[in-house]
């Protein structure tokens, strides 16, 4: 197993990358299903209760139950970009986006990049609540879980 690598995606993005033992299509199929996001969430906030489609398409909305520091809440996100086998991206109501990108790597594996993009959010607020730092930790944990998930397949 390898550790996620930081990627410079710009001043309002936190990105990490890892290689997993799966094809881009296999990784896409997992992440294009919001009912499965809790399986690879490294932040500990995503719960299995989801309202929405089992295969995301552009413009779809899905509601995910969450909990942070024991406080339950729900987030309804909107799919802003989707390319089968390549990209899954959704926008939270606060304006920030979560993006997963998949590139073929050697030996049928996939280079996966997860990005928290807060360019459309109030950047000062995001920095005050330390969202970039907190989300960097969650992204790294999610990518390690994703790597372990496919290592066990």
Residue 118 near residue 126 (C-beta atoms within 8 A) = yes
Q: Round to whole Å and give the CA distance between 149 and 145.
A: 6
Q: What percent of the chain has pLDDT over 90?
A: 75
* Mean pLDDT, rounded, for 69-90: 96
Q: What percent of the chain has pLDDT over 70?
A: 94
Q: Average model confidence (pLDDT) for the chain? A: 92
As for how many domains the chain has, the answer is 1
pTM of the model: 0.92
pLDDT value at 82 more than 90: yes
Task: For CA atoms 26, 95, 58, 64, give the dihedral sign.
Answer: positive
pLDDT value at 56 more than 70: yes
Residue 111 near residue 105 (C-beta atoms within 8 A) = yes
Q: What residue numbers bound the domain in which 42 lies?
A: 5-151
Residue 142 near residue 42 (C-beta atoms within 8 A) = yes
Q: How confident is the model at residue 152 (pLDDT cuts 50, 70, 90)?
A: confident
Q: What is the DSSP letter of 141?
A: H
pLDDT value at 94 more than 70: yes
CATH at residue 37: 3.30.530.20
Q: How confident is the model at residue 125 (pLDDT cuts 50, 70, 90)?
A: low
């Amino acid at each position: 197993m390898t550790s996620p690598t930081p990627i410079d995606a710009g001043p309002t993005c936190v990105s990490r990358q890892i290689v997993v033992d799966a094809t881009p299509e296999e990784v896409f199929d997992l992440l294009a299903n919001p009912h499965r996001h809790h399986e690879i969430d490294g932040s500990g906030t995503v719960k299995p209760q989801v309202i929405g489609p089992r295969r995301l398409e552009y413009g779809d909305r899905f509601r995910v139950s969450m909990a942070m520091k024991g406080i339950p809440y729900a987030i309804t996100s909107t799919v802003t970009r989707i390319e089968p086998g390549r990209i899954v991206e959704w926008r939270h109501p606060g304006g920030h986006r979560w993006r997963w990108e998949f590139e073929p790597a050697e030996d049928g594996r996939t280079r996966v990049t997860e990005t928290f993009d807060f360019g459309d959010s109030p950047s000062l607020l995001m920095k005050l609540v330390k969202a970039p730092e907190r989300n960097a930790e969650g992204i790294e944990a999610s990518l390690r879980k994703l790597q372990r998930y496919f290592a066990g397949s």
